Amino acid sequence: MAHDLLEKQASVEDILSEVSRIKSIVTDAVEDGVQSAVRAVKQGRDAAGDVLHDARYAIKRKPFQAAGILLAAGVVIGGLVALIALQRD
């Protein structure tokens, strides 16, 4: 009887040890995921800043071309909105 209790105690300790190990693995995985997400946000912010800087520089270099592109984009978007509005009616 005492031998059975010792075996059960050993198995409980094994289970607790395994739970602790799994908890450690999950915690590490979550921390890695959070670090990856933070890194991706920083890279995205840097890339957006670079694109914004490049766009400002291009507009300063060629303001008439930039105005023409904006005009063309406005006409295209306006046409699409009008087309969609006509199809709804």
**DSSP codes of every residue in 27-58:** HHHHHHHHHHHHHHHHHHHHHHHHHHHHHHHH
Provide the pLDDT for residue 14: 81
When pLDDT is averaged across residues 30-35 and rounded to a whole number, the result is: 95
Domain count within the chain: 1
Higher pLDDT, 75 or 2: 75
Domain membership of residue 72 as a residue range: 2-88
- Binning pLDDT at 50, 70 and 90, where does residue 47 land? very high
Q: What is this structure's pTM?
A: 0.52
- pLDDT at 34 exceeding the cut of 90: yes
